[in-house]
């Protein structure tokens, strides 16, 4: 729904998991990639730190 409203969506790829690893990779590499920015936790923390120090 957020993508439909033009919100910027962030998905932290390494902080959630699926019991089906191939499905998880498909979601991250294909489905979610079309609707969201995919980051790992370190990249998110780095970006958040850069914003909070402004």
Torsion sign across C-alpha atoms 10, 20, 25, 42: positive
Per DSSP, what are the bridge partners of residue 39? 12
Q: Where are the domains of the chain?
A: 3-52
**Continuous segment of H or E residues that includes residue 13:** none
- For 1-54, list the strands marked E by DSSP: 10-12, 37-39
pLDDT digits (tens, 9 = 90+) for 9-53: 889 988 887 899 999 899 999 988 888 999 999 999 998 887 766
- Is the pLDDT at 3 greater than 70? The verdict is no
pLDDT at 6: 78
pLDDT at 46: 92
The CA distance from 3 to 21, in Å, is 25
């Amino acid at each position: 729904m957020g993508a439909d409203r033009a919100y910027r969506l962030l998905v932290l790829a390494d902080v959630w998991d699926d019991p089906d690893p191939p499905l998880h990779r498909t979601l991250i590499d294909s489905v979610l990639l079309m609707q969201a920015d995919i980051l790992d936790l370190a990249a998110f923390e780095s970006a958040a730190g850069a914003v909070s120090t402004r």
